[in-house]
Amino acid sequence: MLVVHGVWAGGGLAFWAEDTEAVGAVSRGAWPRPHPFAAGHEELAAHLGLADGGHGVMELVLPGSAAAPVPSPETGLLGDGTRPRLRGWRVPVVVPSAGHCLDLLDSGGATVRFWSVVAELALDLVRRGRVLPQLLLPTQTESASTGGDHAAGEAKAGDQGGSTGGTAVDDGLAMWAIPEDTARARWRVVLTGQDAVRFRELGLAMPPACRTGAVERGSAEVLRAALDHFADAHVRAKVQEPLVGRPRTLRDRWLAALTGPDAACPDVPELREALTEWHDAVAGADGSARVSFRLVEPSADAGDKAERSGWRVELALQAVEDPSLYVPADQIWQGEPLPGLPTRPEREFLTGLGRAVRLYPDLDPALRVAEPRELVLDTAGAFTFLRQAAPLLQAAGFGVQLPRWAGRAKLGLKLTTRTKSQQAATGQGFGLRELVDFRIDLAVGDESISEAELAELARLKVPLVRVRGQWVELDERQLKAALRAVEGRRDGELSAAEILRNVVRGEDDELPLLEIDADGVLGDLLSGQAERRLTPLATPAGIDATLRPYQERGLAWLSFLSELGLGGVLADDMGLGKTITTLALLAHEKAQARQTSPTLLVCPMSLVGNWQREAARFAPGLKVYVHHGSGRDATLAEGADLVITTYGTAQRDLETLKGFTWQRVVCDEAQAIKNSGTLQARAVRSIPTRTRLALTGTPVENHLAELWSIMEFCNPGMLGSRTTFRSRYQEPIEARQDEQATLALKRATGPFVLRRLKTDRSIITDLPEKLEVKEWCSLTPEQASLYQAVVDDMMGKIDGSEGIERRGLVLAAMAKLKQVCNHPAHLLKDGSRLPGRSGKLARLEELTEEIVAEGEKALVFTQYAEFGTMLQPYLSARLDRPVLWLHGGLAKKARDRLVDRFQNDPEPMVFLLSLKAAGVGLNLTAANHVIHVDRWWNPAVEDQATDRAFRIGQRKNVQVRKLICAGTLEERVDEMIERKKALAERVVGTGEDWLTDLSSQELREVFRLGAEAVS
């Protein structure tokens, strides 16, 4: 298996990969040495699907021993356990062009995922016009400043103790070199307001491995260079051809360099300086306060004339960090001190207004007085502020406050449909080709308006009018569209499929669909409440269980969509039984003789055994074939009802699977296809089938593009192209929190997504309670002494380090301290005795003895496989009971045997599990106790592990205990997580990296050994 990484290499992104199955010979030559398990050029290029692009060898600074670097966490491999040091390692890299690079960011390790987020931000900035052209000299550009090193044909040698002090790259990376007498036309991003905040958050979240090729540069510097790089690539990708074909004049060469593949052009100092001044003026300064603009509407009882001229834009100053600190201009000019704002707020206020008038020239009249307070507008001016100025000012970092109705109360359409003949709610006999009566009315919000009212709006020719007590934004395009709707056909007959397509895709952007009134089966579908409006289906005869009421409703919903030939997303919370509901659908179709061909189920390899067991247990009448492994035979799929395969096998055997006729394709853990451009996502989407079903508890993990990818699998083309989805839904919702777009997306996806939560008592009432307790443990004197020694030793090293070396030392210190909290022998790795030396182990012994004595079972999770290996024989001897041990090194059959024994053996016992290997995909409801020995700093990971026991099938209350050593790093980080949980969730997957940017004084406070730590 290859684990692909992306590393910033000065002028662009280079890709390299670790081969988890490679065993390379260790070079004993001079440093930097060849990386022993890095993939070669050809293998890496083939994996990435690159037919061209530069390649070379690059020096990375990585932690490790003299024998080998430490494997990345994604490989699942363990290092040799020696004290790591930073050294230079040479790795083969491929260097795609900037355009091709954007296509490779959908899959890979943590670094590639990070660069994907950076590229998305760059694209968002480009779409919103937050870029400016620049003319840069070689010394100002990444490519030129590092071009000499990148083009070098030989690597530089370093000493054994660390980095070489430079990055050595040869072969293909020489493309970044630029002649010294040539400038370069580049597009650079403008970061203000929320964009600047997002930039800072991304800088903190950057994995250190992203800049192992540029260790001398800070994360902010690397991130800014990468943002400009991706933004420049996005702009050039959007321009299909250079604006100038054959440049003859200097102006032509400049335009060609900005829009064509070759960015080199002659230097024009006057142009370069003017462009720099433009960029600096727009970007502005990062102050503690910002100018804010508040649009105030005329009073509700004002006359018509007052309504036309009574609009005001109130000017104020607002704190950047605390937007609730809002000071109107009147208060600013009183000259009194304003806590939380600059000492000279009037100066900040006037400077900000000076910047704002460049974006909003209509502000000029308000600035012609000594003490500006407000801007008076007529209705047209207020509309211009709403539609044009407000977005510009907000994007530039200014505060903008609009009336609550702004962007909501718009002119739109109301759709009413009536079926020709009422059908049963199960949908039988109803097809998407059936004709339905429809009528389209004009509406404002929830209110329909008549043709006479529309004519009056057209007569007034004003963009902001009151309609039945609420303000309505009405531009000329909307008015023309409304008049066309009145003149065109507003009622008649259409097929249900055409109605559905128009509703979901929302073809008319000028007149959005505001309300739907549909009856019958189409109404059930369009309501988004089909699951509750359909008649539940009883447990099919082929299911050896009794479905719960919400599962019967879910089965009816799945069957309903299947009859219509539509796909769906079953997004029930983890543990609510997506597996048995899907098996019930297959059994129902088989009993109704509606299954004419097999269903193909694609899932992660870890869940193959679970699907086999669940099918054998709950649907013994289904013929199941597992298409996986070296002995797989596709011909066996012909007689099966259910064919189970993995995402990897589906990708490799794509042409074979395309040759079958499938009843449906099911994707379990469908977040595996959330990135639409990955090879496995494209492979699964290309398998022909009648219907599709996605199973996932997290349809949206990071951004809305993931929902589009899953929906594109279920119902191809239903939400339009990815570009259309991005402009219609993703950008308005994620960038502007547009409520209208949010409602439209909910309406578009609601018919096809079913989401129920375990915490909803209307869904499930008999799931036992989950009680979470933090168990505070004390350190033994030996642990306390060892803990302090580690702090003193590591802080001495951290104080004298910087950059990636400092980050590595901080992470190493945290790992050592957590190991000390577990047990001294865990840190020392000396095979010494375990009893009597750890307060945490003593508490673990007490808990497990109590649990076993009560005749119950427990799951004990640890993130350290080596600690689990130490605990298993010790606890087994101590308890005189079986202690099972599941970790990533076990084969699938061995894992299955352990799970089966734990679930079915009545003897009380403890199941010790590696958090990484067993945190998902297992059903372990025989346990009603969960113990987390060493905390994982991502709460979602712990919750997933806990859900191995807290799920359907659990008959007892589940007690969850998290062991924390008081007065240590563990307690301080626990406090931080509680305070900053929202941030931790936003950067999920970055683990502990966010702590590495704390100052030395803050680290000392985090690592400090409190008086309460020692028992």
3-class SS letters over 27-94 = CCCCECEECCCECCHHHHHHHHCCCCCEEEEEEEEEEECCCCECCCHHHCCCCCCCCCEEEEEEEEEE
225-239, 304-318, 413-427, 909-923 — which is least confidently predicted? 413-427
Confidence (pLDDT) at 148: 29
Q: How confident is the model at residue 521 (pLDDT cuts 50, 70, 90)?
A: low
Q: Which of the pair, 814 or 917, is modelled with greater confidence? A: 814
Most confidently predicted of 48-57, 501-510, 829-838, 904-913: 904-913
Q: Which of the pair, 737 or 816, is modelled with greater confidence? A: 816
Confidence (pLDDT) at 585: 95
Confidence (pLDDT) at 110: 75
Indicate the SS3 state at residue 965: strand
Confidence (pLDDT) at 806: 77
Indicate the SS3 state at residue 968: coil
Q: Which of the pair, 156 or 210, is modelled with greater confidence? A: 210
Contact 683, 651 (CB under 8 A): yes
Q: Between the CA of residue 460 and those of 444, 515, 923, what are the distances in Å? A: 17, 26, 66
CATH 3.40.50.10810 fits 530-754, yes or no: yes
pLDDT digits (tens, 9 = 90+) for 154-179: 222 233 333 333 343 443 333 334 44
CA dihedral 2→701→320→328, nearest 10 degrees, is 160
Confidence (pLDDT) at 287: 56
Q: Which of the pair, 99 or 294, is modelled with greater confidence? A: 294
Indicate the SS3 state at residue 845: helix
pLDDT digits (tens, 9 = 90+) for 845-881: 988 988 998 889 999 999 888 899 999 999 988 888 8
Confidence (pLDDT) at 599: 94
**Burial class of residue 761, CB neighbours in 10 A (0-12, 13-18, 19+):** exposed
pLDDT digits (tens, 9 = 90+) for 549-584: 889 988 988 998 888 888 999 988 766 788 999 999
The residue with tokens 């597992």 is 626
Confidence (pLDDT) at 600: 96
Whether residue 990 is predicted with pLDDT greater than 50 in this model: the reply is no
- CB under 8 Å to 12, separation ≥6 — which residues? 95, 98, 101, 142, 143, 176, 229
Whether residue 77 is predicted with pLDDT greater than 80 in this model: the reply is no
Whether residue 921 is predicted with pLDDT greater than 60 in this model: the reply is yes
Contact 601, 672 (CB under 8 A): no
Within 13 A of 421's CA, how many CA atoms are on the CB side?
A: 5
140-144, 194-198, 635-639, 1005-1009 — which is least confidently predicted? 140-144
Helix or strand (DSSP H, E) at 945 = helix 939-946
Instruction: Determine how many CB atoms are found less than 10 A away from the CB of residue 873.
Output: 12
Q: What is the mean pLDDT of residues 278-297?
A: 74
Whether residue 198 is predicted with pLDDT greater than 90 in this model: the reply is no
**Burial class of residue 940, CB neighbours in 10 A (0-12, 13-18, 19+):** middle
Whether residue 639 is predicted with pLDDT greater than 70 in this model: the reply is yes
Indicate the SS3 state at residue 925: coil
Tell me how far apart the alpha carbons of residues 204 and 28 are, in angstroms, rounded to a whole number. Answer: 37
Tell me how far apart the alpha carbons of residues 344 and 340 are, in angstroms, rounded to a whole number. Answer: 11
Whether residue 737 is predicted with pLDDT greater than 50 in this model: the reply is yes
Q: Which of the pair, 390 or 1001, is modelled with greater confidence? A: 390
Spell out the domain ranges in the chain: 2-282, 289-401, 411-527, 530-754, 770-1013
* Residue percentage of the chain with pLDDT more than 90: 15
With vertex at residue 419, the alpha carbon angle to CA 416 and CA 420, rounded to the nearest 5 degrees, is 130
Helix or strand (DSSP H, E) at 872 = helix 865-879
Residue 824: is the preceding peptide bond cis (ω within 30°)? no
The residue with tokens 């050294």 is 87
Q: For the chain, how many residues are written?
A: 1015
Give me the helices (H) in 469-577, please: 476-487, 496-505, 520-527, 530-533, 549-563
Q: How confident is the model at residue 989 (pLDDT cuts 50, 70, 90)?
A: very low
Reference 701, options 669, 739, 736; nearest CA is 669
Across-strand partners of 89? 33, 60
Q: How confident is the model at residue 180 (pLDDT cuts 50, 70, 90)?
A: very low
Instruction: Determine how many CB atoms are found less than 10 A away from the CB of residue 484.
Output: 12
Q: Which of the pair, 691 or 760, is modelled with greater confidence? A: 691
**Burial class of residue 41, CB neighbours in 10 A (0-12, 13-18, 19+):** middle
The residue with tokens 């070379």 is 56
Based on its alpha-carbon atoms, the radius of gyration of the chain, rounded to whole angstroms, reads: 32
Tell me how far apart the alpha carbons of residues 881 and 931 are, in angstroms, rounded to a whole number. Answer: 17
Tell me how far apart the alpha carbons of residues 555 and 537 are, in angstroms, rounded to a whole number. Answer: 6
Give me the helices (H) in 73-218, please: 98-102, 110-127, 142-145, 147-150, 193-205
Tell me how far apart the alpha carbons of residues 750 and 513 are, in angstroms, rounded to a whole number. Answer: 15
Q: Thinking of the domain 770-1013, which architecture would CATH place it in?
A: 3-Layer(aba) Sandwich (3.40)
Tell me how far apart the alpha carbons of residues 721 and 717 are, in angstroms, rounded to a whole number. Answer: 7
Handedness of CA 16, 18, 24, 26 (dihedral sign): positive
The residue with tokens 């090293």 is 797
The one-letter code for the residue type at 413 is L
Computed over every residue of the chain, the mean pLDDT equals 77
**Burial class of residue 997, CB neighbours in 10 A (0-12, 13-18, 19+):** middle
Whether residue 121 is predicted with pLDDT greater than 70 in this model: the reply is yes
Q: Between the CA of residue 515 and those of 17, 494, 495, 511, 518, what are the distances in Å? A: 51, 18, 19, 12, 10
Q: What is the mean pLDDT of residues 264-273?
A: 84
Confidence (pLDDT) at 157: 27
Indicate the SS3 state at residue 584: helix
Confidence (pLDDT) at 158: 30
Q: How far is the first Cα of the chain from the last one, in angstroms, to the nearest whole number?
A: 47
Q: Which of the pair, 53 or 374, is modelled with greater confidence? A: 374
The residue with tokens 């059930």 is 524
Whether residue 25 is predicted with pLDDT greater than 80 in this model: the reply is no
Whether residue 113 is predicted with pLDDT greater than 70 in this model: the reply is yes
Whether residue 547 is predicted with pLDDT greater than 80 in this model: the reply is yes
Confidence (pLDDT) at 503: 63
Tell me how far apart the alpha carbons of residues 30 and 19 are, in angstroms, rounded to a whole number. Answer: 23
Instruction: Determine how many CB atoms are found less than 10 A away from the CB of residue 853.
Output: 11
Q: What is the mean pLDDT of residues 347-362?
A: 86
Q: How confident is the model at residue 1000 (pLDDT cuts 50, 70, 90)?
A: low
Confidence (pLDDT) at 926: 92
**Burial class of residue 324, CB neighbours in 10 A (0-12, 13-18, 19+):** exposed
Tell me how far apart the alpha carbons of residues 942 and 947 are, in angstroms, rounded to a whole number. Answer: 9
Q: Do 530-754 and 770-1013 share a fold?
A: yes
